[in-house]
Amino acid sequence: VTNHAPHKAALSHELIAAAASYEAAKAYENHRAENGEPTSHAKAKEILAGFAGAFVDREVESKGLDYVDKEKAKYHAKKQAEEAYDSQYSNDY
């Protein structure tokens, strides 16, 4: 049996990415409160990307999205988290 239904997850990965970037920002603030400022702008972005990726992994597992949607969600989450970080902290480094 072949399923020719159109792929409908485009909105799903964008919503997951938005939620992931929000959760990454919250986790980053908690991390800063517990550990102090990161040593560099690049390190801060690396930490944010890790938090965003972990959130995406959890959501993809629970929602059953495919690999492509997972990678798209991770890409968008990382990009959104970095843009939010840049707008808030770019003058700190």
pTM for the whole structure = 0.74
CA angle (72, 42, 55) in 5-degree steps:
35
Q: Where are the domains of the chain?
A: 10-92
The CA distance from 44 to 35, in Å, is 12
Q: What is the pLDDT of residues 5-34, one digit of tens each?
A: 555 556 678 888 899 999 999 999 999 999
Q: What is the pLDDT of residues 40-83, one digit of tens each?
A: 989 999 999 999 999 999 988 887 878 888 899 999 999 999 99
The CA distance from 52 to 87, in Å, is 17
